[in-house]
Chain A
Amino acid sequence: MRTENQRAWFFVLPVLALVAFNALVPMMTVVNYSVQETFGNNQFFWEGLGWFEQILRSDRFQAALGRQFLFTFLILIIEVPLGIIVALSMPRKGFWVPVCLVLMALPMLIPWNVVGSMWNIFTLPKIGLLGYFLNDVLGINYDMTQQPISAWITVIVMDVWHWTSLVVLLCYAGLVSIPDAYYQAAKIDGASPWSVFRYIQLPKMKTVLTIAVLLRFMDSFNIYTEPFVLTGGGPGNSTTLLSIDLVKIALGQFDLGPAAAMSLIYFAITLLVSWVFYTLMTKDDAQ
């Protein structure tokens, strides 16, 4: 059991100082911009909550938010079940286990801009392996730069390729911690594979699965580099996710006020959903 000790704060102080410097100062800058209007020359005018109202009402923001939720929803419903299936069918011990784990973790260690370039090269219509195969061998009309549907499928498949392994590795960690005795007991009771999954494996994976869903939600909601390098948000605006739109407004058009207001709304949404996951997770820990 943990003991009450206020001096523990001293241990936390370095982390606190570092993260406060990195988080609070930029956050205050953003808050500062979000309530002001600027015409350059470092002149600022009080704007109040005007930008927030404008952003929340704008079709552009709502469309980007809609695409963002659709993207996150799609990758979650693909990656989580796929990750569980792969983890369940992995061998528990033996020579191949570390090899499998290393190969699976490899996509996660590739810089995000390289992931984008790699998928770009992979899907080029006449030159890329996938682009050539789909267009010239299967005869499917596939061109990421022209068709929104192709672009969406490519972005989704790229994310599945990039991050499903996180779910696999987390679930696998949960699975290997199940003692053999549980399986033997299930065998004696004549349990079906489904009930082994439902009553032994799934409960054991519950904590790690929550971590997986939480991490995947946060990271996919904040995704920027990979789709930006791959599609640049196009064709048109079809794959312009929230971060891409935000950077366009902030650094492209230099509309600091609206961009800051949008940042705060964006952050608040991420925070709210993550908080729901976090409370669910710690509730499980307490039991």
Chain B
Amino acid sequence: MKKRSLIPILYIAFLMLPIYWLVAMSFKTTNEILSGFSLFPQTFTLENYVTIFTDPTWYWGYINSIIYVTLNTVLSVCVALPAAYAFSRYRFLGDKQLFFWLLTNRMAPAAVFALPFFQLYSSIGLFDTYLAVALAHTLFNVPLAVWILEGFMRGIPKELDETAYVDGYSFPRFFVTIFLPNIKAGVGVAAFFCFMFSWVEMLLAKTLTAVEAKPIAAVMTRTASSAGYELGLLAAAGTLTIIPGAIVIWFVRNYIARGFAMGRV
């Protein structure tokens, strides 16, 4: 038993090493970084973080990212709920084809869509708004949300729906007061995945914004190129991007294993 637990420990150590290095770098001064190798910060400094929290271009990058990610999560889950219900409960003309077509959007390389998205959202006047990024990210998040929610809904017996109808519940009332509480875990997991993929995607987010809705990634690349090579600042900015994800994942930790199986186990 002892020997077996060595594998996960080694694996987690491997995962933590680059993260440790990023965090360690963020507490070093630029001088120390460039002067050579040191395993721990020799002159511990918070200067990099102070820069980020006092400069509006920096902290607005985070706020912008969080706004469009939240918008996208709410939007994706709301439209995916009825669709997933339909796929899990009914057979209708073209259901299988439609489901596969939805999934194909998950397969489209973001690089393919970058330029057409820019043109599309510019032409309808949404360029450089939160809504543009949130809408663009639904391309891959809605199919995923439908897929996850459908898996969870299939696990709820159909008798539940039928009993509710016999008891005289209207469909919206049944859906909100009876059905939704039953698939709470599924909604949480779907929301988690939407948050995750919208938070980590940067190519489309960068292409669709300029100033007003600029995501943190754009701030990072511009700083890296304009202010020379400020590794400490870059590391601090990177460290801060890990935090929202870590918080969200802590909330869903008990559903995470099942959620990754898309409710299909």
Contacts and interface: CB of A to CB of B under 8 A. Distances in A.
Interface of A: 1-9, 11-12, 14-16, 18-19, 21-23, 25-27, 29-30, 82, 85-86, 89-91, 98, 100-114, 117-119, 121-122, 126-130, 132, 136, 161, 164-166, 168-170, 172-174, 176-177, 207-208, 211, 218, 221-222, 224-225, 242-244, 246-247, 250-251, 256, 259, 263, 266-267, 270-271, 274-275, 278
Contacts of A263: 109, 111-112
A231 to B, nearest CB: 15
29 contacts: A8-B89, A9-B92, A12-B86, A14-B82, A15-B79, A19-B105, A22-B138, A27-B116, A29-B120, A109-B200, A111-B199, A111-B216, A112-B200, A113-B202, A121-B25, A122-B17, A127-B231, A129-B39, A168-B11, A169-B256, A170-B261, A176-B257, A207-B265, A211-B262, A224-B203, A242-B109, A243-B111, A251-B115, A270-B108
Nearest to B88: A2
9 closest A-B pairs by CB: A109-B245, A26-B116, A173-B261, A11-B86, A8-B90, A222-B109, A8-B86, A29-B116, A11-B82
B22 A126 contact: no
B94 to A, nearest CB: 9
Contacts of B113: 26
Given A98-B253, A174-B261, A274-B104, A22 B136 contact: yes
A15 B14 contact: no
A169 B120 contact: no
B127 to A, nearest CB: 14
A121 B264 CA distance: 39
Contacts of A30: 112, 116
Nearest to A221: B109
A117 B111 contact: no
B108 A23 contact: yes
Contacts of A114: 217, 220, 237-238, 241-242
Contacts of B110: 222, 224, 243
Interface in B1-24: 4-8, 11-12, 14-22
Nearest to B15: A107
A5 B203 contact: no
A117 B245 CA distance: 17
B191 interface: no
A111 B200 contact: yes
A103 B264 CA distance: 23
Q: Chain A: interface secondary structure? A: helix
A224 B237 CA distance: 21
B201 interface: yes
Contacts of A225: 202-203
B103 interface: yes
A269 B34 CA distance: 45
Q: Chain B: interface secondary structure? A: helix
Nearest to A218: B107
B176 interface: no
A8 B104 CA distance: 21
B92 A166 contact: no
B47 to A, nearest CB: 17
B265 A110 contact: no
Contacts of A106: 15, 19, 242, 245-246, 249
B151 to A, nearest CB: 10
Contacts of A176: 257
B256 A128 contact: no
Given A113-B220, A169-B260, 19 more contacts: A4-B90, A11-B85, A12-B82, A12-B98, A15-B142, A16-B98, A22-B105, A26-B116, A89-B5, A106-B19, A111-B202, A117-B238, A172-B260, A174-B265, A208-B261, A244-B111, A256-B115, A271-B107, A278-B103
B261 A19 contact: no
Contacts of B245: 106, 109-110
A118 B238 contact: yes
A278 B106 CA distance: 13
B197 to A, nearest CB: 9
Contacts of B103: 274, 278
Nearest to A250: B115
Contact of A113 (B15, B217, B259): B217
